[in-house]
């Protein structure tokens, strides 16, 4: 069984179909206007027509209001909402319960304390995500990596994803170092923000399918 991949920042039907047909475990869509990958509800409605409904769709939002979440979900459903802002554990749990979705809480990582902070969210979120902390206006999709050794040996009740600066060349090392069972990719498989390099996406999905992460070892058969 390979490492699961969430392909994030999808904006075009052909890219969405490519991700779905070549093994993406999740597809991600950004709903945060400062991001160059952001969708408004009308664009989301048009794009969602091309979804493979067997693959969960994740909406990435930053400190969203209830009204914004409702507007997006009214346009087309999402199975997951990824919260990438300063949301409290209580807010994360509230979003999941109020809107009937599973939740991912994202954490920007620069030091060990950032990883430790995730412990307070174990009961509130269905999944956690660890990304490189950014000082810019957009918290994710910046192509930045952090010290993966900060996640080595991490235990917890909630499953988690590794994100930030992952690409075809470093994916095996990242998985080997962290033990990640699932990864999130966006900018490394783009020719421009929101425009996926479909050949690159196919290669990294094939690469991930050959990786096997466990607490004890990682097999790379490539």
Give residue 172's pLDDT: 95
Please pick, among 15, 18, 131, 184, the residue that the annotation labels catalytic. 131
Arithmetic mean of pLDDT, 7-29: 98
Give residue 138's pLDDT: 55
Give residue 200's pLDDT: 95
Does 43 have pLDDT greater than 50? Answer: yes
Cα–Cα distance measured from residue 33 to residue 55, given in angstroms and rounded to the nearest whole number = 25
Comparing CA positions, the residue from 108, 110, 103 lying closest to residue 69 is 103
Q: Say whether 212 is catalytic.
A: no
Arithmetic mean of pLDDT, 118-122: 96
Choice among 12-16, 115-119, 145-149 with the minimum mean pLDDT: 145-149
Q: Between residues 150 and 214, which one has the greater pLDDT?
A: 150
Does 218 have pLDDT greater than 80? Answer: no
Place of tokens 């794009």: 47
Does 219 have pLDDT greater than 50? Answer: no
Please pick, among 8, 15, 18, 184, the residue that the annotation labels catalytic. 8
Does 49 have pLDDT greater than 70? Answer: yes
Structural domains in the chain (count): 1
Q: Supply φ then ψ for residue 76, to 5 degrees.
A: -170, 145
Q: Say whether 8 is catalytic.
A: yes
The enclosing H or E element of 66 equals helix 66-75
Give residue 50's pLDDT: 98
Q: What is the pLDDT of residues 57-106, one digit of tens each?
A: 999 999 999 999 999 999 999 999 999 999 999 999 999 999 999 999 99
pLDDT confidence band for 137 (50 / 70 / 90): low
User: Kind of pairing, strands 211-213 and 218-220?
Assistant: antiparallel
Q: Between residues 151 and 212, which one has the greater pLDDT?
A: 151
Does 164 have pLDDT greater than 60? Answer: yes
Give residue 145's pLDDT: 85
Domain of 8, CATH number, reads 3.20.20.70
Cα–Cα distance measured from residue 18 to residue 16, given in angstroms and rounded to the nearest whole number = 5
* 94 alpha carbon, distance to own chain's centre: 20
Give residue 141's pLDDT: 52
Q: What is the pLDDT of residues 166-217, one digit of tens each?
A: 999 999 999 999 999 999 999 899 999 899 999 999 999 999 999 975 433 3
Strands (E), the chain: 4-7, 26-30, 57-61, 80-83, 102-109, 127-132, 160-163, 182-185, 190-192, 195-196, 211-213, 218-220
Q: Between residues 55 and 138, which one has the greater pLDDT?
A: 55
Give residue 217's pLDDT: 39
103 in Cβ contact with 95 (< 8 Å): yes
Which residues span the domain enclosing 132? 4-220
Q: Which two tokens stand for residue 196?
A: 């996926």
132 in Cβ contact with 151 (< 8 Å): no
Q: Which two tokens stand for residue 144?
A: 């930045």
Dmax (CA) of the chain: 47
Give residue 93's pLDDT: 99
């Amino acid at each position: 069984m390979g490492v699961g991949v969430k392909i994030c920042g999808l904006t075009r039907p052909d890219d969405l179909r490519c991700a779905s047909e070549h093994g993406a475990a999740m597809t991600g869509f950004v709903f945060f206007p400062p991001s160059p990958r952001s969708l408004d509800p009308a664009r989301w409605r048009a794009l969602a027509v091309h979804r493979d409904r067997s693959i969960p769709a994740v909406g990435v939002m930053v400190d969203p209001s209830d009204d914004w979440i409702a507007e997006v979900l009214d346009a087309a459903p999402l199975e997951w909402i990824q919260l990438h802002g300063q949301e409290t554990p209580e807010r994360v749990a509230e979003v999941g319960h109020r809107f009937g979705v599973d939740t991912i809480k994202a954490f920007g990582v620069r030091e060990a304390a950032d990883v430790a902070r995730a412990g307070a969210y174990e009961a509130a979120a269905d999944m956690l995500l660890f990304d490189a902390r950014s000082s810019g206006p957009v918290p994710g999709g910046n192509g930045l990596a952090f010290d993966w050794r900060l996640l080595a040996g991490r235990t917890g009740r909630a499953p988690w994803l590794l994100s930030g600066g992952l690409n075809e060349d470093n994916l095996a090392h990242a998985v080997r170092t962290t033990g990640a069972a699932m990864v999130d990719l966006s900018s490394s498989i783009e020719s421009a923000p929101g425009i996926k390099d479909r050949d690159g996406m196919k290669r990294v999905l094939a690469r991930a399918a050959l990786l096997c992460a466990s607490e004890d070892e990682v097999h790379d058969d490539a």
